[in-house]
Amino acid sequence: MATINATVSVNSNDLTSNALSLSKTMTLTKAGSNVGLELTSGLVRRTFTSTNHVDLVTAGAQNYGTPTASKANKIYIKNTGSDSTQYFEVGLGTSSGSGTPTADSIGGTHLAIGRLYGGDWMLIPFDGSATTGDITVAPSTSEKMTIEYIIFFE
Amino acid sequence: MATTTASLSLTSSDLFADNLSISTSHQLNKAGTTIGLDQTTGLNRVYLTATTNVDIFTVPGATKDGKKSHVYIANLSTDETEYITVTIGDKVIGRLYAQDFLWMPWNQQAQHLSDLEIAPSVATGMNVEYMIIHEGIVLTTAADS
């Protein structure tokens, strides 16, 4: 087993009348146990030069292994850019493989989670089941944009 | 505007032969701008005693499609077998086991289909915390009967 720690900190002195200071640490463990996750995709870096809506991670077998669905898998994704107007729309479901983010079939085969603008990141559990589908991304521009992600899984 | 910063540290000394150390930080801004988000729900804490799937953040009517939101959810249980299943609409994002958290953007794209929902795995009681920092959410119209 391995010990992987993730700590999120959210701070603001002026969002509310009292300062916000939230900090939370988790150890990434296997489902229902205290045994640490020990498999990973490694840190993957991908560059996009079109607005095509594509799979970032598919459910099922990968070249680094097969994340077991509906466990305690986690995925970290970051838009490495610095442009505050350019974003990746991250979603769940099936990619169209082409077209634009607005071609999403809401409530059908794809549903947007949210947008990662330059420098934004997310850390979420990764269900990885066929019913949830893949994790998809759609860049907002055809200018060169880069995303990084890493999956920790069992 | 406000200045709010979200940071993440991901570390391990034994996952690889070399150390894993990912560190990132970003300022929470309104969509497409460098103007800070200035609204929040504050940190909510609930004690759930049923396995019912419940909305924690809903898109009740008109949407805020394209507006920026960041969501934090944490399962405060200390029993490693207990989890909450987090979904957006009918799509399962995944499970948060005891002491797990998530941090993610949220696009209020479609009425109810973009609702954020959680379902505890047990009915014996589980504390969950959640918060949104945002640039606008739709509040439910009051109903007195």
B140 in a structural domain = no
pLDDT at A109 > cutoff 80: no
B80 in a structural domain = yes
A16 in a structural domain = no
List the CATH number of the domain containing A87: 2.60.120
B48 in a structural domain = yes
Q: How far is CA A16 from CA A48, B38, B39, B58, in A?
A: 38, 8, 8, 22
CA–CA min distance A111, chain B (Å): 8
B16 in a structural domain = no
Confidence of residue A132 (pLDDT cuts 50, 70, 90): confident
How many independent structural domains does chain B possess? Answer: 1
**Domain extent at residue A136:** 39-153
pTM assigned to the model: 0.95
pLDDT at B96 > cutoff 90: yes
B141 in a structural domain = no
Nearest to B80 among A29, A70, A106 (CB): A29
Contact list in B for residue A150 (CB cut-off 8 A) is: 10, 22
DSSP string, B105-141: E----STTTT-EEEEES-SS-EEEEEEEEES--PPPP
List the CATH number of the domain containing B70: 2.60.120.10
**What is the model's pLDDT at position B141?**
85
d(CA B5, CA A71): 30
Residues B16, B17, B19, CA angle at the centre, nearest 5°? 65
CB contact under 8 A, A32 and B81: yes
d(CA B54, CA A39): 32
CB contact under 8 A, B4 and A112: no
CB contact under 8 A, A119 and B14: no
Q: Quote the mean pLDDT of chain A.
A: 91
d(CA B21, CA B19): 6
- Residue range B48-68: mean pLDDT, rounded: 91
Nearest to B130 by CA among B88, B72, B90: B72
d(CA A47, CA A86): 14
% pLDDT > 70, chain A: 92
- Residue range A11-39: mean pLDDT, rounded: 97
Nearest to A93 among B2, B27, B91 (CB): B91
3-state secondary structure A87-113: EEEEEEECCCCCCCHHHCCECCCEEEE
A21 in a structural domain = no
Nearest to A146 by CA among A18, A33, A48: A48
This model of the complex carries an ipTM of 0.96
CB contact under 8 A, A4 and B86: no
Record the tokens describing residue B71, joined without a space. Answer: 């969501």
d(CA B93, CA B116): 10
B55 in a structural domain = yes
**Domain extent at residue B59:** 40-134
CA–CA min distance B107, chain A (Å): 4
**pLDDT, tens digit, 9 for 90 and up, residues A56-104:** 998 888 889 999 999 999 999 999 999 999 999 999 987 766 545 444 5
d(CA B81, CA B84): 10
Contact list in B for residue A29 (CB cut-off 8 A) is: 80, 97
Positive or negative, the CA dihedral A14, A16, A19, A21 is negative
Contact list in A for residue B128 (CB cut-off 8 A) is: none
Contact list in B for residue A131 (CB cut-off 8 A) is: 92
A119 in a structural domain = yes
Confidence of residue A131 (pLDDT cuts 50, 70, 90): confident
How many independent structural domains does chain A possess? Answer: 1
**What is the model's pLDDT at position A98?**
58
A26 in a structural domain = no
